[in-house]
Amino acid sequence: MTMSQRQVLQVFETYQKARTQFVQMVAELATRPQNIETLQNAGVMSLLRPLLLDAVPTIQQTAALALGRLANYNDDLAEAVVKGDILPQLVYSLAEQNRFYKKAAAFVLRAVAKHSPELAQAVVDCGALDALVISLEEFDPGVKEAAAWALGNIARHNGKLSQAVVDAGVVPLLVLCIQEPEIALKRVAASALSDIAKHSPELAQTVVDTGAIAHLAQVILNPDAKLKRQVFSALSQIAKHTVDVAEMVVEAEIFPAALACLKDPDEYVRKNVTTLIREITKHTPELSQIIVNVGGVAAVVDYLGDSKGNVRLPGIMMLGYVAAHSENLAMAVIVSKGVPQLAICLEEEQEDHIKAATAWAFGQIGRHTPEHARAVAVVNVFPKLLNLYLDTKSSEDLQVKAKKALKSILQKCTYLPALEPLLYEAPSNILKHVICQFSKVLPHDSKARRLFVTSGGLKKVQEIKAEPGSAIQEYINAINSCYPEEIVSSSERFFFNRYYSPGYSEALLERIENYQPI
Amino acid sequence: MARLEKLFSHLENIKEQYFLKNRIAEENRQRENEAAVKIQRRFRGCQVRAYLRHLHKNATLIQKIWRGFTARELFRQRVNTAYFIMKMNFYNKMAVKIQQRWRGYYVRKYVHNYYARKRYLEGVAKKNDLIRRDLEEFAELQKRERERIALEKEEQEKNIQAQRLHFLLSTKQCPGVFNSPFRAEPDEMELRLRRVKPRSAPKERKTPKMTPDLSNLMPNRERLPPIHKKPQGPFRPALEVQQQRLRPLEPSLRVATSITALEEAREELKRQEWRTRVIDQTFLPFSNASQNKRYESLIHTITPFEQVAYGTKHFREEPKECCQGKKPFKTVFTTCHVFDKFGRLYSNAGNIV
């Protein structure tokens, strides 16, 4: 080997070393967000692109890794990747190269697809789906994980993309991935199935047809928290669409094992379990019955007690759905001590949408029979609901729900001590119902009549102005006819003196008690 | 004749009388006629009336009988219908009673069973309690498990720390950092340092990581010339080097058998015998058949092919005095390790084929 030959080859050596170093440094810098702006301004995309076609495989892989990290950061860079025509090259080499390169290429695809539906569509358009499906059939679990993640990101955005992913035949392979021993792979496969199934009932049915539910159910007992999050999220996305699918999820015998996960230390696992239970109970009374029989209501009530903030929402909605189906189930919710817990939630939570959900749940529980209304009234929830309805700062939705709940409970409530405070503060449309209830109960109960007078309720009723002939006037007449005339028509001052004097005249009270209304 | 004369005297009288009587009769004729007519009239009337009366009586009788007959029939019919209506009323009332009972039972049992509902709600409450208890226990267990794992991990870390700082152990002459003479007793770290063995040289980690892809090291393109000027000798291919480095232990048979292999084999045999041997008597088919059989040698041979007694019945002569005190014959021989590594060494030196 002559000197000049060696010198020539030396030049190439130096260049290769320089390229390797450059690409490795760029990849390392791209891990920190503050560098990415500078990198972008320095034109890193145009420099990295030819390195993808480099002769040395290590440089290719590191260049792909760097590109992936850049595209991951924000969507401008991802668009630059798409516009720079890099995707077809990546897709082509996805089919050919070794597994490190496949992992890096799948990472780039996933980073590009995650930002918006258009970018995901661009990824699909360059034929990435077939290449990703082939990668899913590889042996190496790292490659499978990267491919599954990319497919999940594509399918996440809308139903059309999900349909495209499903048409490429991905779902059976994902179900196989769930059965693999590596936890990261299971996680990603479960998350991808969740993203696919969430858009429409047909997609959920496709996922179910490949037997995904049984495998997802087996994974529930795994101790890894993030995996459980994804699995429960997948099951709830599947179960939310139709009754049949929800029944199949329940038939997979996930209860009572899923209830044990309600005590998991990870907050999101608990939230996802509660979401799953909510989606199941939403559909029919029979499904709610199954959940109640297995003790799910008690578990959810305890969950509401343990958690705070936004994660309570699925639990509250679940109690509402269960109670809405029939009065048996509402009574079961009451027996499981759900009502005091809901009152605590109403007290503690500040967000409007959670309060609206709580008000709705109360309405569903209390609207069936007087027993139910009494259970709701006893926890002193009427004043709070009234405040929510009247508060100007509450959102529209909250006001509407609070009013509906109040109305539906009041129409069945016969528990007078809870109704009395409402006499003083309620606006006229609520007052109508309160008076109506009084007029139904007072004619039959003499003790209640006595109490009504001594607590000043009768006086308040007299003060109400109502048009003659309206419904309120009729109710007021009905109440007045329960009492002897002197009481009713006596002057205000007489009444005032009598009322505020310490010993309310016993004789008067005796008369009231013995008076029989016609 | 006298009578005739008398009679002719009377004749004129008679004629007068006759004409008188005729005149009287003529005068009375009208009256008598009318009287006779009257009498006849009356009499005929009576007759007819009697006849009519007779007829009437008979007709009445017939009508009476007939009317009685039809009326009795009607009456019987009416009695029947009244009876029928009474019966139907009775049956209706009984049917109402049955239906009442049945409807009450049905509604109470199938449509809204109060006691079943009560029992169901009690069952729900009990189940809830059970589930709450179970979940709490489960949460407790999990928490304890996690705490235990955390504690163990902490222990491990402290031990590793102690291993690394083993040089801070105090000696007799010089108390260490953690064993200040002013303290009543040494610090926990000091005790740990005493307990723990110092860390040996970092062992070669068996690569659980992936083996680096060797196709990277051998691109199927033109290789660049070597970096060093002086060639350093024929190198083995990299694959072989890797295989050598990661070759697992290949112990010889002697090393691989445990020291107590013989005893273990005996134990195993004993166990097997204990398991399988049910009857102690060996099965001898037709017991007397072969006891006294002697082998009859062929005529063509001269050597007796009997069983030689030496070797089975006795081995050697009685022990001589010269062998007394000597150690018994060893049955185990020490191995020679000449051919243990044959063909398995990295270098090919000594593999003279």
Q: Output the average pLDDT for chain A.
A: 88
B121 vs A: CB within 8 A: yes
pLDDT in tens, B100-137: 999 999 999 888 888 989 999 999 999 999 999 999 99
Does the pLDDT at position B317 exceed 90? no
B350 or A452: whose pLDDT is higher? Answer: A452
Q: What is the mean pLDDT of residues A146-152?
A: 93
Residue A192's pLDDT is: 94
- Closest residue of chain B to A16, computed from CA coordinates: B224
Q: What is the mean pLDDT of residues A231-251?
A: 93
Dihedral sign, Cα of residue A149, residue A152, residue A156, residue A162: positive
Does the pLDDT at position B265 exceed 50? yes
A167 vs B: CB within 8 A: no
Residue A484's pLDDT is: 77
What string of H, E and C letters represents the secondary structure of chain B?
CHHHHHHHHHHHHHHHHHHHHHHHHHHHHHHHHHHHHHHHHHHHHHHHHHHHHHHHHHHHHHHHHHHHHHHHHHHHHHHHHHHHHHHHHHHHHHHHHHHHHHHHHHHHHHHCCHHHHHHHHHHHHHHHHHHHHHHHHHHHHHHHHHHHHHHHHHHHHHHHHHHHCHHHCCCCCCCCCCCCCCCCCCCHHHHHHHHCCCCCCCCCCCCCCCCCCHHHHCCCCCCCCCCCCCCCCCCCCHHHHHHHHCCCCCCCHHHHCCCCHHHHHHHHHHHHHHHHCCCCCCCCCCCCCCCCCCCCCCCCCCCCCCCCCECCCECCCCCCHHHCCCCCCCCCCCCCCCCCCCCCCCCCCCCCC
User: A301: distance to nearest CA of chain B, Å?
Assistant: 10
pLDDT in tens, A259-272: 989 988 899 999 99
User: B345: distance to nearest CA of chain A, Å?
Assistant: 33
Q: What is the mean pLDDT of residues A309-319?
A: 94
A232 or B347: whose pLDDT is higher? Answer: A232
Residue A200's pLDDT is: 92
Q: Can you tell me the ipTM of this complex?
A: 0.80
What is the count of residue pairs from A and B with beta carbons less than 8 Å apart? 70
Q: Which of B120, B124, B142 should we substitute to test contact with A (largest number of A Cβ atoms within 10 Å)?
A: B124
The verdict on a CB contact (< 8 Å) between A332 and B138 is no
User: CA A28, A29, A30 angle in degrees (round to 5)?
Assistant: 90
Q: How confident is the model at residue A449 (pLDDT cuts 50, 70, 90)?
A: confident
Does the pLDDT at position A191 exceed 60? yes
- Closest residue of chain A to B122, computed from CA coordinates: A335
pLDDT in tens, B171-186: 888 888 888 888 888 8
The verdict on a CB contact (< 8 Å) between A295 and B216 is no
Q: What is the mean pLDDT of residues B35-62?
A: 94
B131 vs A: CB within 8 A: yes
Residue B301's pLDDT is: 65
Residue B299's pLDDT is: 66
Residue B168's pLDDT is: 85
DSSP tag of A442 = G
What phi and psi values does residue B346 have, to the nearest 5 degrees? Answer: -70, -45
Residue A499's pLDDT is: 57
pLDDT in tens, A20-33: 999 999 989 888 88
Cα gap B53→A7, rounded to integer Å:
176
Residue A501's pLDDT is: 52
Residue A497's pLDDT is: 56
The verdict on a CB contact (< 8 Å) between A260 and B135 is yes
User: B241: distance to nearest CA of chain A, Å?
Assistant: 22
pLDDT above 70 covers what percent of chain B? 82
User: B112: distance to nearest CA of chain A, Å?
Assistant: 10
Does the pLDDT at position B48 exceed 60? yes
Does the pLDDT at position A88 exceed 60? yes
- Closest residue of chain B to A332, computed from CA coordinates: B121
Does the pLDDT at position A277 exceed 90? yes
Residue B214's pLDDT is: 47
What's the gap between Cα A173 and its chain centre? 29
Q: What is the mean pLDDT of residues A224-238?
A: 93
- Closest residue of chain A to B216, computed from CA coordinates: A57
Q: What is the mean pLDDT of residues A407-423?
A: 89
The verdict on a CB contact (< 8 Å) between A263 and B124 is no
Contact list, B116 vs chain A (CB under 8 Å): none
The verdict on a CB contact (< 8 Å) between A293 and B129 is no
Q: How confident is the model at residue B211 (pLDDT cuts 50, 70, 90)?
A: very low
Contact list, A256 vs chain B (CB under 8 Å): 131
Residue B190's pLDDT is: 86
Residue A491's pLDDT is: 43
A44 or B95: whose pLDDT is higher? Answer: B95
Does the pLDDT at position A288 exceed 60? yes
What's the gap between Cα B9 and its chain centre? 160
Least confidently predicted of A142-156, A228-242, B187-201: B187-201
pLDDT in tens, A457-509: 888 888 887 787 788 888 888 888 888 776 666 544 455 555 555 445 666 77
Residue A442's pLDDT is: 87
Does the pLDDT at position A291 exceed 90? yes
Contact list, B226 vs chain A (CB under 8 Å): none
Q: What is the mean pLDDT of residues B217-246?
A: 72
The pTM score is 0.69
